[in-house]
Structure 1
Amino acid sequence: MLSILDRYILRQYLGTFGLLLLLFIPIGITVHLAEKIDKILENEVPFIEVLKYFLDFTIYFANLLFPLFLFLSVIWFTSKLANNTEVIAFLSSGVSYYRFLRPYMIGATIVCAFGFILGMYLAPKASKGFNEFHYQYLKKGKKDRDQSNVYRQINDNDYIYVSYFNVAEKSGSNFTLEHFEGNKMTYKLSAKRIRYNDKDSTYTLVNYAKRTIGEHEDVIVNESKLDTVFSFELEDLTPVEYIAETLNLPELNEFIAREKKRGSSYINRYEVVRYKRWSLPISAYILTIIAVAVSSVKRRGGMGVNLAIGIAIGMIFIFFDKIFGTMAQQSDFSPLVATWFPNFVFAILAIYLLRNAKR
């Protein structure tokens, strides 16, 4: 049974968090629109597509920054409680500090559930629409590094390459497939253009050539057009980051298991995305405790000091998250350690700050 104190703090917790989202997301959309409006007008993008894009952007933006919004919102309203001496009144009435934390933990649980659903299911779908619009309209005529020079190992023996892949049209240019037996290449397929056919799950190759390497001479076969099947999926031709971001949890687990069997060299990238979807919701608890511990003390400088400390801690958290995530993606550093290390460090900080605040 929630007391009046619980309901009051919980209402402030969720209300301030929601208000911060409603305030910052339109600002993010406005800045993004101002940056992209020239491209949107230049490519004559249909209005309904623009609306869908900004809906996807809203979900994508909210999922990306919700831990920071949560942190700042808790600091904001708890600082107000402290400045109005409400925290002192609560604790003076016989309420223990841990009992004072209970509604915050209930609020963190609600936000954690929201973050879990958002990150596991809603954000991947939004990310797919966001990226498809971005590649189709905003990067039209440009070769973004995420689209060009896609090189993948699809199993122990085969490697594929496309110099450019169009996600919306499901087609690529300068396609190559190389097959190895041990360290020796046995044949090589190439085509000026490759296109995926949804109807029968085949690929159409234009200006196709196959070179089979023999001991004494090579055999070359050329055709102007060829419809064929391959063992790899369409996703193998899409940008590395783009694939993982657009898969929900069951799809991502299945995809990673398949990639491990193929011996993909990009497993760490996919693992980082998967582990982050678990670590970010949990960070709601850690950041809530830190925010309460920092802002429940009435300071001489008022709310400004608490907000300054909170923003500094939030920036450090994001810095740790980005640095270790990049390390795992670009090296052999463990993705599990990389994604959970910031939570581990800040959990220790939360315990330390909580003990000091309790005193």
Structure 2
Amino acid sequence: MKMINRYILNEAKAPIFFGISLFTFIFLIDIIVSMLESIIVKGISIIDVARMISFYLPMILSQTIPMGIFLGVMVTFGSLTKYSEITAINSMGISLNKLLKLISIVGVIGTVFIFFLQESIIPRSYVKLQQLSIKMVYNNPVFQLKDKVLIDEVDKYKIYIDKIDAKTKDAKNVLIFYNDNTKYPTLITGERTYWESASMILDNSKFYRFKDNGEEQLRGEFKEKRIPLTSYFKDIEIKMKDIEGMGVGSLYKEYKQSNENERRPFIVEMNRKIAVPISAIILSILGVLLSVGNKRSGKGTNYGVAIGIIFIYIVFLNLGMVLAYRGIVSPFLGVWFSNIFLIILTYSLYKKKGRVI
């Protein structure tokens, strides 16, 4: 029995890994396209892009592991059935229930690993992602600046930029209002501006200071004027706002501290973070039941069936969450409906296959 179990698990390793990789890549496509745009348009380094993708990866894996296990199990048992290995295994006294027990252990391992990702890795990755975003802004604030827009959230400065050079990222015809606790702000102009070490460097700049009655008090010129923005970035506090980056424990704390009208999103997300990992167990069992006994089904058929069921599962899950967020259905029903659908399908197949195998 141990030898057979080891053989089945060895056969399932590569398909499960392939399935997880496939669905992870599909989920990453949108992020990768967005990152490519950032490289070309905003000048973000490839290293920073790779780091950002690595921080997104745990969040994506928490969703794709159940799907990958399902596809891998279907391919594995489809192959075992096609070459009559399942028949040989059954002739050795190994029943369908024993096979399901073996594969359900794989699903349990996947579930435990997803819980580990959600509670330990994902919150840290989410904070690291925010820190990296701030670092990129810190090193090059031009990412946040646009043509012909007044920006008034940088320290005591209000900044107006007439034009930003798409190639050099330098700003032209910059107008800066510095509020130094006087009635009228000091006016600073610059022909060309670039960013260096969280500071704005103005070439050929002029400044104008005014009295309380509005008359000009002082004016001057600088060949180069440095305006440090360090305090703006130093005071930024990393706070996790996106509930998808929180663990169940953090969500529960936020739920207890929020008022009645703000609790629904936290309840929905807590249910999702429990329902999705549990689906790995259900899908692993369903993958076996869909594959055994279908000798004519090849890998192509198994891929199609697996992707079709995953598509239905994702649609039901997202639709249920939308209805739950809007208060049309309860959070439990909205989130768990997709799992209930899988359980009903699994049970019906088990009753059918149990009589044949």
Q: Same fold judged by TM-score > 0.5?
A: yes
Q: 2:262 maps to what in 1?
A: 266
Is residue 74 from structure 1 mapped to residue 70 from structure 2 by the alignment?
no
User: 8 Å contact 2:70–2:306 — kept in the other structure?
Assistant: yes
Gaps of 5+ in 1: 144-163, 171-206, 208-232
The code of the aligned residue for 2:283 comes to L
Show the counterpart of 1:303: 299
Query: Aligned-residue CA RMSD in angstroms?
Result: 3.3
Contact 2:66–2:279 (CA under 8 A) maintained in structure 1? yes
Question: What's the counterpart of residue 325 of structure 2?
Answer: 329
What's the offset of the Cα at 1:321?
Answer: 0.6
Matches within 5 A, 1:96-111: 96-111=95-110
Change (3 A) 1:277 1:294: same
Correspondent of 1:289 among 285, 292, 297 = 285
Q: Which moved more, 1:296-305 or 1:328-337?
A: 296-305
Aligned-pair CA distance for 1:272: 1.3
Quickly say closer, same or farther: Cα 1:247–1:293, change in 2 above 3 A.
same
Query: Quick one: percent identity of the two aligned structures?
Result: 22
Partner of 1:50: 49
> What is the TM-score normalised by the length of structure 1?
0.65
| Partner SS for 1:288 | helix
Q: State how far apart, in whole Å, the 2-side matches of 1:308 and 1:23 are.
A: 14
- Equivalents in 2 of 1:356, 1:297: separation in Å? 11
Q: Residue 333 of structure 1: CA displacement?
A: 2.2
Letter in 2 for 1:120: E
CA distance, structure 2, for counterparts of residue 80 and residue 134 of structure 1: 46
Question: Which secondary structure does the structure 1 equivalent of 2:43 belong to?
Answer: coil
Label 1:133 to 1:37 Cα distance change in 2 as closer, same or farther (>3 A): farther
Deviation at 1:328, TM superposition (A): 0.6
**Alignment pair present for 1:257 and 2:256:** yes
Q: Which residue of 1 aligns with 2:338?
A: 342
SS in structure 2 of the partner of residue 89 of structure 1 = helix
SS of match in other structure, 1:331: coil
User: Given residue 326 of structure 1, which amino acid in structure 2 is its aligned partner?
Assistant: V
- Counterparts in 2 of 1:84 and 1:350: CA distance versus 1, 3 Å: same
Choose 25-34 or 83-92, whichever is displaced more: 25-34
- In structure 2, the gaps of 5 or more residues are 138-142, 156-182, 184-236
Superposition TM-score, scaled by structure 2 size: 0.65
Deviation at 1:288, TM superposition (A): 1.1
Residue 65 of structure 1, CA deviation:
2.1
Deviation at 1:48, TM superposition (A): 4.2
- One-letter amino acid matched to 2:123: P
Structure 1 residues 324 and 30 mapped into 2: Cα distance closer, same or farther (>3 Å)? closer
Report the CA distance shift for 1:267/1:276 in structure 2 as closer, same or farther (over 3 A): same
CA distance in structure 2 between the partners assigned to 1:297 and 1:270 by the alignment: 43
Picking from 302, 308, 313, the partner of 1:312 is: 308
C-alpha spacing 1:51/1:306, structure 2 compared with 1 (3 Å): closer
Instruction: Give the length in aligned residue pairs.
Output: 266
Shift, 1:298, TM fit: 2.6
300 and 318 in structure 1: CA distance in 2 versus 1, 3 angstrom threshold: same
Cα contact 1:7–1:103 (8 A) shared by 2: no
Structure 1 residue 344, shift from structure 2 partner: 1.8
Q: Distance in 2 between matches of 1:131 and 1:294?
A: 42
For residues 254 and 58 of structure 1, do their structure 2 counterparts lie closer, same or farther at Cα, with a shift above 3 Å needed? same
Measured after TM superposition, the shift of residue 309 of structure 1 is 2.1
Aligned residue identity for 1:60: M
The amino acid that maps onto 1:293 is: L
